[in-house]
Amino acid sequence: MPQEVFTVGHSSGTIEQFLELLALHGIQVLVDVRSSPYSKFAGQFNREPLKQALKKAGLFYLFLGDALGGMPADRRFYDEDGYVLYRRIAETPAFREAVDRLLKGLEKHRTVLMCGEENPQGCHRHLLIARVLREKGVQVRHIRGDGRVESEEDLCRKDGLGTRDNPDQNILFLGLEAPQQWRSLKPVPRQRSEDSGWTEE
């Protein structure tokens, strides 16, 4: 059986609703992949209260946002327009080591990768992490706020990234993707870039 991992966005609901969502899918370990594990609009999902709530519910919390986050502090991961260059992140030793650690964990625990956005389509957990995991044969499933699950394959068909069954559209697998093409869909707004430690000169 291929390895399987889930992703989820905490959005702005309550901790109780979030825990119910995780329980619905039998999640045992939550891996926080936010560059900064804090939210101005949903403080209940800040690192400390989230970790405590998960522990109380019998779940394990692991922070890997320093290696797998989508808004790193180092400016070399951004282009001149503020877009995040995902290939540069994926090529770092820290990212590769974190992925290896994640793969080992998947062998034993039902795991979910958590970021903030409910919709994974524009989130780095789909655009960056899931693409790398998919290339390694991992089945990625995205938990939506209403409880349904969307496969990475279906999500890729929606945004034209291609699949293993349709490699002509999948330049990542073919190794033909230019660095500037594998990047965030939107530039990081100045406010958020400052929050992540990245600022314009």
Write down the architecture of domain 4-195 according to CATH: Alpha-Beta Complex (3.90)
The per-residue pLDDT for 160 is 64
Rounded distance between C-alpha atoms, residue 123 and residue 65, angstroms: 14
What is the DSSP track for 177-200?
--TTTSB-SSPPPHHHHHHTT---
SS3 69: coil
SS3 30: strand
Instruction: Dig out the tokens for 190 from the structure.
Output: 């100045």
Per-residue pLDDT of the chain (201 residues; tens, 9 = 90+): 779 999 999 999 999 999 999 999 999 999 999 999 998 889 999 999 999 999 999 999 999 999 999 999 999 999 999 999 999 999 999 999 999 999 999 999 999 999 999 999 999 999 999 999 999 999 999 999 999 999 999 998 887 654 443 343 344 444 444 444 799 999 987 544 444 444 332
The per-residue pLDDT for 178 is 45
The per-residue pLDDT for 190 is 57
Rounded distance between C-alpha atoms, residue 49 and residue 37, angstroms: 11
Long-range contacts of 133-136 (CB under 8 A, 24+ apart): 133/5, 133/99, 133/102, 133/103, 134/164, 135/172, 135/173, 136/99, 136/103
